Chains A and B, each alone.
Chain A
Amino acid sequence: MSDPLLKVRNLKIGATVYPPGEKPHDIEIVHGVDFDLAPGKVLGLIGESGAGKSTIGLASMAYGRGGVEITGGEVWVNGRDILKSGIRDVRSLRGGEVTYVSQSAAASFNPAKKIMDQVIEAAVEHGKFTKAQAEDRARALFAKLGLPDPDNIGKRYPHQVSGGQLQRCMTALALCPEPDLVVFDEPTTALDVTTQIDVLKAIKEAIRDTGVAALYITHDLAVVAQVSDDIMVLRMGDMVEYGPTDQIINAPQEEYTKALVSVRSIRHEEKQPSATPVLTAKKITARYKGTNFDVLHDVSVELHPGQTLAVVGESGSGKSTLARVITGLLPPSHGKIDFAGRSLSDALAGRSREDLRELQMIYQMADVAMNPRQTVGTIIGRPLEFYFGLKGAEKRARVVELLDKIEMGDGFIDRYPAELSGGQKQRVCIARALAAKPKLIICDEVTSALDPLVADGILKLLLDLQKVEDVAYLFITHDLATVRAIADSIAVMYQGKVVRYGPKSQVLSPPFDDYTDLLLSSVPEMKLGWLEEVIAHRKMESAGN
């Protein structure tokens, strides 16, 4: 075996934390991690948030984000310990030998500068190429990464290209200086699933063709299985398991890795529709004020009591707008909504307190949906007071009862949101919605911001609550695994229209329409070689047409 390009020994990383109500203090977030990376190989770093994977990735560039500091250990790149190097040497390493692709290219490109200038900047700055050479190389990379009009796309500003294209531009930016190592930090996480597959393919081919080594950081094991040679599983700053990709996916040794591999194993039998739906949206057409195009065209869906309708689609498909129309936040230009046997007013102002009570909502970002200065007890108690006039001991008893339902217990009643984990915050939001005894809860991407295992817990809770409370869910998501786990019926949305609608078993069985087929086949599967299979399959199909 050749000498490793990157050798990490006993890496320890610390950070200063500012917990509410306590003095700031230092904690250790990575507790001594070792690994090697040979030239041209790809190592996947996988774990949930807080595992320290991004922090380790950035440490290979001798960089600490925010208050993060590398406190011990060694990081050898090309035969020298970069933690002992001077600032000049570190600067020539960053952007020269090691480059970085971030999760959000949209935020990582400077909005005031053209794409080309940003892509070639590091290569020119480090004297690897002249400006003209670097531009030629960038154009070749744009072409290799499958960007449209590779000769001219560099002349555009970041806001003039799409998110998926910008993510590929970011990959070009990282590859332009001919680095030895690229750190990919969740490069496809912010993308739609159909876009993700193209970017993933582009990244994989670029790694193969340029012979660069890579650290591939993600929380999605199915994604990392497609690109990496080895995988290291991390949890709370410790290494859990480290081995070849095949072994980690097919024969995991540790319990935690097994849980990650088998995540999304919820089985949910679809229920038969009842005679009268609780919610009927008829031919809804809607547009936002001041715009001249319809975000929703002629959308009709039904939802039966105690059941779940999953509305699935990519960003911009209109699924969240549908929720806004149903809640009354955006009056539709055409169409009507029937709810619990009565017709709902288009506008929020025209709805009765009873309408508001029976139709509750849970949001994607639990932490911004709660007042940070209120305790859990106040947050959950508010709807009890508002809708049922409960006070004092009666109210407190009901809050405790609700906390039991979300499996949290009365110890949380006087805690503030900042003291809760992401999953606990979302549970409190669920309790707040349940407090109103609603007939329907609209769940808008409620698990998207959560780690897979935590998200699984939330989905299980929602399903259990549905059985007990007989509440219906309108479940908005872009994640098809979630849809499979929870839905009774499914509406697939694309560009403001419902392109496929029916019971789950029917929607998810062939024959498919083109869009649903594309959507379903784009969801990464937890097996090696899946990406190649899909790409080969698509090539064959397009050749057949």
Chain B
Amino acid sequence: MHPILKLVAQRLALSFLLLLAASALIFAGTIILPGDVAQSILGQSATPEALANLREELGLNEPALSRYFSWLGNALQGDLGTALTNGRDIAESVGYRLKNTLFLAFWAAVVSVPLAIGLGLLAVRFRNRWPDKLISGVTLASISIPEFLIGYLLMYFVSVKLGWFPSVAMINDTMTLGQKLQAIALPVTVLTLVVLAHMMRMTRAAILNVMQSAYIETAELKGLSGLQVIYRHAFPNAIAPIVNVVMLNLAYLVVGVVVIEVVFVYPGMGQYLVDHVSKRDVPVVQACGLIFAAVYIGLNMVADIVSILANPRLRHPK
């Protein structure tokens, strides 16, 4: 077998094990919370009989281990159970929310990843000169201001004062792509500003590191221009660290956008999770946790596999 296939297979297996461990932690975490689901549904004034009945009904008297395996088995088949608060199928509601979150994350990534890498390349090209300092300064400022503040500032100036984009990012299935994009323009801008600095600075550092190599001197002595040297010779050797930081930020765009969704009242996963945590709707919290873990682990796995594939020594053994 090609050694690279073996490495990739190992990495895939590791991700699967990691996801399994994460599911166990999520389940264990919701169990050790004080009080149980029956209590939270019926409230403080419930009679002991009613509680016992509901527990029986929900299967809460079974041992934890068997509940974990039946939950995991159902989840693997796409059945995430029903929400306690409204009795709806979780898979269905989460599916809709997840689609919206991915939509927002996708467009934020489409804007921020090329922008971050491009700015990183420019910063290297003009390192320690004013374009580098300007890029570093602006991106650092944007990451230092809390994201909700940027959100409200944009809302005030761009939507209230200028009226270019709506301040509330409500989308639904009847809207065209153009309408949707107009609706999410502001949250995409905020998310871009939040993730830009990290990716840009990592790109800059990774390429500067490669720029110390002797083969960069060779490229310069071939008479290539500064940008040609950077994108032809430095960038291909800096892919692994760049992909790593890009994937971390993509994961953040899916998993960490709670604040932005709340600020812009966007119907995504984050808001859904926050709503149900406050209502102690344990099955929903578990389902969301599992999905977030899967996204996080999956993206990091992609980063690792790209790093493996980007290494010519592994791709083309002697």
Interface residues of A (CB under 8 A from B): 58, 61, 63, 65, 90-96, 99-100, 102, 104, 107-113, 118, 121-122, 125-126, 156-157, 159-160, 173
Contact = CB atoms under 8 A, between A and B. Distances in A.
A63 B221 contact: yes
B218 A94 contact: no
22 contacts: A61-B221, A65-B217, A91-B224, A91-B225, A92-B223, A94-B222, A99-B222, A100-B218, A100-B221, A102-B217, A102-B218, A104-B214, A107-B214, A108-B214, A108-B218, A110-B236, A112-B237, A112-B310, A125-B224, A125-B228, A159-B312, A159-B316
B223 A111 contact: no
B312 A157 contact: yes
A118 to B, nearest CB: 8
A178 B215 CA distance: 21
Contact of B237 (A107, A110, A125, A160): A110
Given A107-B215, A125-B222, 8 more contacts: A110-B236, A111-B215, A121-B219, A156-B316, A157-B316, A159-B312, A160-B316, A160-B318
A146 to B, nearest CB: 21
A99 B236 CA distance: 24
A96 B233 CA distance: 19
B223 A96 contact: yes
A286 B312 CA distance: 30
A91 B214 contact: no
Contacts of B236: 110, 112-113
A111 B215 CA distance: 9
Interface string B219-239: 111111100100001001100
Interface in B65-89: none
Contacts of B312: 111-112, 157, 159
B295 to A, nearest CB: 30
B222 A121 contact: yes
A189 B219 CA distance: 22
Contact of A91 (B213, B223, B237): B223
Contacts of A113: 233, 236
A102 B214 contact: yes
B217 A111 contact: no
A58 B213 CA distance: 17
B161 interface: no
Nearest to B236: A112
B2 interface: no
A111 B219 CA distance: 13
B129 interface: no
B313 A94 contact: no
A95 B313 contact: no
Chain B interface extent, by class: 20 to 34
Contacts of A109: 215, 218
Nearest to B228: A125
Contacts of B222: 94-95, 99, 121-122, 125
Contacts of A102: 214, 217-218
A212 to B, nearest CB: 16
Contacts of A107: 213-215
A95 B214 contact: no
Is chain B's interface secondary structure helix, strand, loop, or mixed overall? helix
Residue of B222, B224, B233 with highest tally of chain A CB at under 10 A: B222
A93 B223 contact: yes
Contacts of B221: 58, 61, 63, 94-95, 99-100
A108 B217 CA distance: 8
B223 A125 contact: yes
Contacts of A65: 217
A113 B213 CA distance: 14
Give the top 10 A-B pairs by smallest Cβ distance, nearest first: A95-B222, A94-B223, A95-B223, A107-B214, A122-B222, A112-B236, A91-B223, A110-B215, A108-B218, A100-B221
A390 B78 CA distance: 75
B236 to A, nearest CB: 4
B318 A108 contact: no
Contacts of A94: 220-223
Interface string B279-318: 0000000000000000000000000000000101100101
Contacts of A104: 214
A173 B224 CA distance: 14
A394 to B, nearest CB: 46
Contacts of A126: 223
B87 to A, nearest CB: 56
A110 B217 contact: no
A118 B216 CA distance: 12
Given A91-B225, A95-B223, A96-B223, A108 B313 contact: no
B237 A111 contact: yes
A63 B223 CA distance: 11
B120 to A, nearest CB: 18
A180 to B, nearest CB: 14
A366 B77 CA distance: 64
Contacts of A92: 223
A159 B318 contact: yes
Nearest to A109: B215
A94 B224 CA distance: 8
Nearest to A177: B222
Contacts of A63: 220-221
A92 B225 CA distance: 10
B313 A159 contact: yes
A92 B213 CA distance: 23
A112 B228 CA distance: 15
Contacts of B237: 110-112
B215 A108 contact: yes
Interface string B22-43: 0000000000000000000000
A79 to B, nearest CB: 19
A86 to B, nearest CB: 13
Nearest to B233: A110
A85 B25 CA distance: 67
B149 to A, nearest CB: 42
Nearest to B239: A112
A159 B317 CA distance: 8
Interface in B115-132: none
Contacts of B228: 125
Residue of B215, B228, B312, B318 with highest tally of chain A CB at under 10 A: B215
A58 B214 CA distance: 14
A160 B312 CA distance: 10
A99 B219 CA distance: 11
A122 B233 CA distance: 13
A63 B221 CA distance: 8
A95 B223 CA distance: 5
Contacts of A111: 215, 237, 312-313
Nearest to B237: A112
A464 B228 CA distance: 56
Contacts of B219: 110, 121
Residue of A58, A65, A113 with highest tally of chain B CB at under 10 A: A113
Nearest to A97: B223
A109 B221 CA distance: 12
B223 A122 contact: yes
Nearest to B225: A91
B18 to A, nearest CB: 26
A247 B89 CA distance: 95
A160 B213 CA distance: 19
B71 to A, nearest CB: 42
Nearest to B218: A108
Nearest to B310: A112
Contacts of A96: 223
A387 to B, nearest CB: 41
A113 B228 CA distance: 14
A107 B212 CA distance: 11
